[in-house]
Amino acid sequence: MRQREVKIPEGLYKLIEEHLEELGAKSVEEFVVNAARVALQETTNRKLEIDEKEKEEIKRRLRELGYID
Amino acid sequence: MIAPHGGRLIERIAGKKEKEDLLSLRGEYPEIEISRELAFEVENIAVGLFSPLEGFLGKEDFHSVLKRGRLASDIPWTIPIVLDVDKEKAQEIGEGLFLLYEGKPIAWMEVQEKFTYDKDEMAYSVYGTLSEEHPGVVKVKSMKDILVGGKITLLNHVSSPFPKYKLTPKETRVLFETKGWRRVVGFQTRNVPHLGHEYIQKTALTFVDGLFINPVIGKKKKGDFKDEVIIKAYEALFKYYYLPETATMAILQMEMRYAGPREAIHHAIIRKNYGCTHFIVGRDHAGVGNFYSPYAAQEIFDDYPDLGIIPLFFRSFFYCKKCGGVVNEKVCPHEEEHRISFSGTKIRALLMEGKIPPAELMRPEVAKVITEFNNPFV
Ligand SMILES: [Zn+2]
């Protein structure tokens, strides 16, 4: 796996290092990577929209199968 | 509606015109006959159950999945979804390929690359062992030598013995929305339900809007319950003990891999794609024999804070005579002698003799359905 370097302020680094246990991480790197992952997951967590016409077709099938009334 | 894994629901199903166009190319490209298990994978990719995958893994993703349980794009993914072919066939394969199942073309594949791989590395990364006692290891060792990566387009659906329970993620998402379920908990199973399962499901359901029971249908190991037995047993449970307003069921056609922790993540991702917001992980999820410690499949979730589905962890439930009900270690203060455990082995032994297990272990309506089968086991 290729890796890139990112710089962070020393004070912030030290603060993270001091609180590693409470942050649930084994290293500053692990914490930063996971924090970025969570933020990205939330940002890209767009709702899925299905257009109305397709939705009606799906509902018809679900009704036929007895899933909905 | 919760976003699919990777943010976009994949749909790779050919429309009428595209299907005709692709099929007109038959004869110009090589064709390979694939197994039922691989046909399931193809369909699962095509309907978006394996979103964000659009096809079989290429080399970079394959190695990334083995090494770090993530795709090269960093999205969590723990099980390598691959197409294996033998060396002679690989030489014939160029830009495209038809995948046939039972002689019928089920998909077109745009071949991106062909590559060799180390079977021991693959088996060890996924299963954490190289023991030939592990069915997953045996399977990997029997795979063909070349992997072919590339996007697929579904031409025909794979037939199912239970068509009325086969729903695509788009359909389950509309189903949940129509039922007014904002929070939905998914339950993976390859077993007939005993009271321990029912309590886990109902405890989880107490905190969300809907319960989605999702039995895995497909190749299992000897001694597992047959697919139709599992479906019938759940139908009985639904009829007598569940409300249609808060619980529903659909099947997942997929092979069990028994990869324990890694498979638990895979199972959670699939349920996220179905539209579940929560996923139940019990003791020894997707385990086999003693290969994984009982809660390893729960601990692995710590490595995936960005999974995007909330795992609900359960310890084992048991029946306590003193409590007078189904409880677990967290709530029952009584001694071992008062407890009856939901031993799958014990229940199985009784059912094998055609006996109905005690009502503290299994609902009589469920047991009756199972004993009506001559041989309920694979
Ligand atoms: Zn008790």
All residues of chain B having their beta carbon less than 8 Å from the beta carbon of residue A48 are: 1-4, 9, 173
CA distance B197 to chain A (A): 23
- Using CB atoms, pick whichever of A34, A47, A61 lies closest to residue B171: A61
**Could you tell me the two tokens for B165?**
């329970």
**Nearest CA to CA, how far is B292 from chain A (Å)?**
23
How far apart (Å, rounded) are the C-alpha atoms in residues B147 and B149?
7
Q: Compute φ and ψ for B87, nearest 5 degrees.
A: -60, -45
Q: What is the dihedral of CA B88, B94, B100, B104, to 10 degrees?
A: -130
- Tens of pLDDT, residue by residue over B144-192, are 999 999 999 999 999 999 999 999 999 999 999 999 999 999 999 999 9
Task: Check residue B25 and report its DSSP letter.
Answer: T
> CA–CA separation, B241 vs B211, rounded Å?
13
Which one of B67, B175, B302 has the shortest CB-CB distance to A68? Answer: B175
Q: Does A68 touch chain B (CB under 8 A)?
A: yes
Interchain contact, A50 vs B305, CB within 8 Å: no
Provide, rounded to the nearest whole percent, the portion of chain B with pLDDT above 70.
100
Q: What pLDDT does residue B259 have?
A: 97
CA of B81 to the centre of ligand 1 (A): 45
**Sorting pLDDT into bands at 50, 70 and 90, what band is A46?**
low
Query: CB-CB: which of A38, A41, A59 is closest to B174?
Result: A59
Class of domain B16-154: alpha beta
Inter-chain residue contact A47 with B170, CB threshold 8 Å: no
Q: Are strands B146-154 and B184-189 parallel, antiparallel or unpaired?
A: unpaired
Considering Cα of B266, then B267, then B270, then B276, what sign does the dihedral take?
Answer: negative
Largest CA distance in chain A: 63
> CB of B366 within 8 Å of any CB in chain A?
no
pLDDT at A69 over 70: yes
Residue B29 has pLDDT above 90, yes or no: yes
> Are the C-beta atoms of residues B179 and A54 closer than 8 Å to each other?
no
Domain residue extents for chain B = 16-154, 163-371
B293-316 mean pLDDT: 95
- The whole-number pLDDT of residue B143 equals 98
Do the domain assignments include residue A5? no
What CA dihedral angle connects B219, B222, B225 and B227, to 10 degrees? Answer: 20
Active site residue B156: no
Tell me, yes or no, if B190 is annotated catalytic: yes
Question: In this structure, is the dihedral angle defined by the CA atoms of residues B9, B159, B219 and B88, taken in order, positive or negative?
Answer: negative
pLDDT value for B97: 97
Which pTM was predicted?
0.94
Q: Which residues pair with B31 in a beta bridge?
A: B98
The per-residue pLDDT for A12 is 92
Domain tally, chain A = 1
Structure confidence by residue, pLDDT tens digits, B228-287? 999 999 999 999 999 999 999 999 999 999 999 999 999 999 999 999 999 999 988 999
How far is it, in rounded angstroms, from Cα B260 to Cα A52? 40
Within a domain: A69:
no
Cβ contacts (< 8 Å) between A44 and chain B: which residues?
A: 3, 6-7
Say whether pLDDT at A42 is over 90: no
Indicate if the pLDDT at residue B378 is higher than 90.
no
pLDDT at residue A44 tops 80: no
- Tell me the average pLDDT across B115-125: 98
- Give the nearest partner residue to B306 out of A37, A55, A67, using CB atoms: A37
User: Do B317 and B199 meet the contact criterion of CB atoms below 8 Å apart?
Assistant: yes
- In the predicted model, what is the mean pLDDT of residues B84-95? 96
**Ligand 1 mean position to B339 CA, how many Å?**
7
Give how far B2 is from chain A: nearest CA, Å: 6
Question: pLDDT at position B79, please?
Answer: 98
- As a whole-number percent, the residues of chain B with pLDDT over 90 amount to 87
Confidence check: pLDDT of B124 > 70 = yes
Count of CA atoms in the C-beta half-sphere (13 A) of B13: 15
CATH node for B163-371: 3.40.50.620
Q: How confident is the model at residue A43 (pLDDT cuts 50, 70, 90)?
A: confident
Q: Reduced to 3 states, what is the DSSP secondary structure of residue A22? A: helix
- Amino acid letter for position B130: L
Domain that holds residue A54: 10-64
Q: Give dist(CA B313, CA A28) in Å, integer.
A: 27
- Which has the higher per-residue pLDDT, B20 or B221? B20
Q: Determine, for residues B179 and A55 on separate chains, whether the beta-carbon distance falls below 8 Å.
A: no
The single residue of B12, B173, B190, B271 carrying the catalytic annotation is: B190
Average pLDDT value for chain B: 95
Per the domain annotation, does A59 fall within a domain? Answer: yes
The verdict on residue A3 lying in a domain is: no
Query: What average pLDDT does range B345-349 have in this prediction?
Result: 85
Assess A60–B contact: CB distance below 8 Å, yes or no: no
Q: What pLDDT is recorded for position A20? A: 94
Q: What is the spatial distance between Cα B316 and Cα B281, in angstroms, rounded to a whole number? A: 11
C-alpha count within 13 angstroms, C-beta hemisphere, residue B163: 6
pLDDT digits (tens, 9 = 90+) for B91-115: 999 999 999 999 999 999 999 999 9
pLDDT band at A45 (very low <50, low <70, confident <90, very high): low
Helix H or strand E encompassing B193:
none
Compute chain B's Rg from CA coordinates: 21
Beta bridge partners of B311: B279
pLDDT at B349 > cutoff 90: no
